[in-house]
Amino acid sequence: MPSKYDGAVFVLLIFLSSFLGSIFLLAPLLPLAFFAPRVYRNAADRLVGYWLTFPASLLIFIFKVKFRVTGDLIDRRKPAIILMNHRTRLDWLFFWNALYKMDPWLLTTEKISLKAGLKSIPGAGWAMAGNGYIFLNRNYAKDQKVMETMLQYYKESQNSYQLLLFPEGTDRGERAVSIDHAYADKNGLQKYDYLLHPRTTGFNFIFNELRKNNYLEAVYDVTIAYPDEIVASEIDLFKKGVLPSSVHFDVKAYSLDEILTPEQMEVDKKDPVDTAKWMNELWAAKEERLKKFYTAEEGKKELEPSGARFVWPVETNEPGYLIAFATWVTFILLAIYLLIFFWPTKYYFLAVVIAFVVLGRLRGGMEFLIAELFFGRRLFLEKDR
């Protein structure tokens, strides 16, 4: 049984591995961004992707969380958008286990759209920026140029990425529910009991940008549900040391002709199309699915498999998690040893930390510098932070 201290141990290991990993593993890759930007992109994708296996392994070994994953396979060879409801602030953490079950290489091709403030987290924020995640301010006018640039970067990197979006914009906390219900009342919409109404503007922009650049082959709708305990945030995890015993994911793949009307499919790709109706209908159907799930009898709460109706094994018996766990714990201990007993390591550590902080101040973040080096010109994206 997990103890109340397990949450603190989990958070400490995640912080140390991301913080020290950014300094001793990611930073040495940065020179590649100057003279071989595609090599840097591939190396950083693999490094961060392998790090994601570490928190996934901790969920298995420390908290014994079971993951039920059903539906369609997310194809890492296809550029795509992944849409997911945002029940808690930990949904993205659990999703890494789902990706690992389907195909461990998906951890190297997944990108995420996040709140801009997360970029300031020492270690994890640096790693996410170095991995080319998209950080948004929730200001469409400012975010538009950032999204456009990063999506073009994905395309021209010659890699196929799957971009995870949370259309609701935030997790379903009490304040968000209150605001969403007021929005529903004002606009004559149904009040949702298990979701927030999606924000369609950002998805519509990203959909059209990717479509225009011939860099979109599918949209995956992911439904996440918790059959027992719902842990709202990382603060609850840290203080109480609890996580749900089980997390369910179901994936449904949509081709573009399932999203757009026949008339929209005929529209030139350079001209935007409106996907708001499809998104709102998708969310209304998701609300009904979740109502059926959460009102089912205890022990019978399962999401009906979608699409190809794959059901991945709940138990993960292959050694990947164990190898990742051993690798990253060994790395943490080695890095701490070097910091304590070798003075050159201390100077290097200090120099890299200062460089990351200055870079964030002057250029808005590492992802902007990497994009500028790739395109070979100043983009001035720091003005759109």
Mean pLDDT along residues 148-166: 96
Give the pLDDT score at 175.
94
DSSP tag of 146: H
Give the pLDDT score at 384.
53
DSSP tag of 189: -
Task: Give the angle subtended at the CA of 278 by the CAs of 274 and 280, to the nearest 5°.
Answer: 105
Give the pLDDT score at 50.
97
Please give the full DSSP string across 61-102, using - where no structure is assigned. Answer: HTT--EEEEEEPPP-TTS-EEEEE--SSTTHHHHHHHHHHHH
Name which residue leads in pLDDT, 5 or 97: 97
Q: How confident is the model at residue 385 (pLDDT cuts 50, 70, 90)?
A: low
Model confidence pTM above 0.85: yes
Structure tokens at 267: 């529209």
Give the pLDDT score at 3.
66
Residue of 282, 276, 249, 253 lying closest to 264 (CA atoms):
276
Cβ burial, residue 339 (10 Å; 0-12/13-18/19+)? middle
